[in-house]
């Protein structure tokens, strides 16, 4: 674990893997909930957790350096099921990349339990991990200027669902009617870091 000071009052904590980042994030949230950590933002990402608006950076730099990465947290987080139709325009390409049929590609994706590693890009957009490395796919060479809301997509190690229409370079494999983001709802984001996710094919739902 490495701590990197950022600006006036932030600390970027770097760890070796996405799993470690998720474990560290869970532990930091626990400490904030119990009142020992005061930070305006705790932002997990691929291999880091950013603590922004820290009240005492020096103390946390020392404490994190000595404490090491916490163990993987118990899988107590809520499981969200997202209904999906595997009808994306890039499904055939993804299946070819995986060297399976489209039907089998859908089965593999729906058979995976994902975890929201972190959010970003747009409110409510989660970067979901869980697919084994052999199923990682590159981004499209040319991004689309408009990806529809509800598109289920793959890029690198991640699966994501576009909360609203936007440009995007991910491979589109399906569609969900789930509302990923609704600022009038509490909570506004269906997916938050740590949430477990399963995609349930519409005909099975």
Partner 1 sequence: MTDRAFVVVRAGALTTVQDLGRPGHAHLGVPRSGVLDPPAAALVNRLVGNPPGAAVLETTLDGCAVRPRSAVTVAVGGAPCPVRVGGRPAAWGAPVVVPAGELLEVGAATAGVRSYVAVSGGIAVEPVLGSRATDLLSGLGPAPLTDGTVLPLGAPAGPPARVDGTPQPRPPAELVLRVTPGPRADWFTAQAVRDLGTRAYRVSAASNRIGLRTEGPALERARTGELPSEGMVLGAVQVPPDGRPVVFLADHPTTGGYPVIAVVRSADLPAAAQALPGTPLRFVPVRRR
E strands present in 85-148 = 114-119, 126-129, 144-147
Residue 192 near partner 1 by CB under 8 A: yes
Binding flag, residue 47, partner 1 (CB under 8 A): yes
**45 binds partner 1 per the rule CB under 8 A:** yes
Q: Which of 65, 69, 41 is CA-nearest to residue 55?
A: 41
204 near partner 1, judged by CB under 8 A: no
Of 134, 119, 104, residue with least CA distance to 191 = 119
In angstroms, give the least distance from the CB of 108 to partner 1. 24
User: By CB under 8 A, what part of segment 96-125 binds partner 1?
Assistant: 118-125
| CB 163 to partner 1: min, Å | 9
- Does 80 participate in binding partner 1 (rule CB under 8 A)? no
Distances (CA, A) of 160 to 49, 57, 114, 154, 170: 20, 33, 10, 6, 9
- Tell me how many helices (H) and strands (E) the chain has: 4, 13
Query: Any contact of residue 160 with partner 1 (CB under 8 A)?
Result: no
Binding site for partner 1 (CB under 8 A): 4-8, 10, 12, 40-50, 52-53, 118-125, 127, 164, 183, 188-189, 192-193
């Amino acid at each position: 674990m490495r701590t990197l000071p950022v600006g006036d009052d932030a600390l970027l904590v770097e760890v070796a893997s996405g799993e470690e980042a998720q474990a560290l994030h869970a532990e930091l949230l626990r400490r904030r909930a119990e009142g020992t950590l005061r930070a305006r933002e705790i932002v997990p990402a691929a291999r880091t957790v950013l603590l922004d608006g820290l009240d005492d950076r020096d103390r946390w730099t020392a404490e994190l350096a000595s404490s090491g990465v916490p163990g993987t947290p118990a899988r107590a987080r809520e499981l969200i099921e997202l209904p999906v139709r595997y009808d994306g325009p890039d499904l055939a390409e993804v299946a070819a990349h995986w060297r399976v049929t489209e039907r089998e590609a859908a089965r593999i994706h729906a058979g995976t339990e994902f975890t929201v590693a972190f959010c970003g890009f747009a409110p409510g957009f989660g970067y979901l991990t869980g697919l084994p490395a052999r199923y990682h796919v590159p981004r499209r060479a040319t991004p689309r200027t408009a990806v529809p809301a509800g598109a289920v997509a793959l890029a690198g190690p991640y699966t994501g669902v576009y909360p609203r229409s936007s440009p995007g370079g991910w491979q589109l494999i399906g569609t969900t009617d789930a509302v990923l983001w609704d600022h009038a709802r509490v909570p506004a984001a269906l997916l938050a870091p740590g949430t477990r996710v399963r995609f349930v094919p519409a005909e099975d739902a």
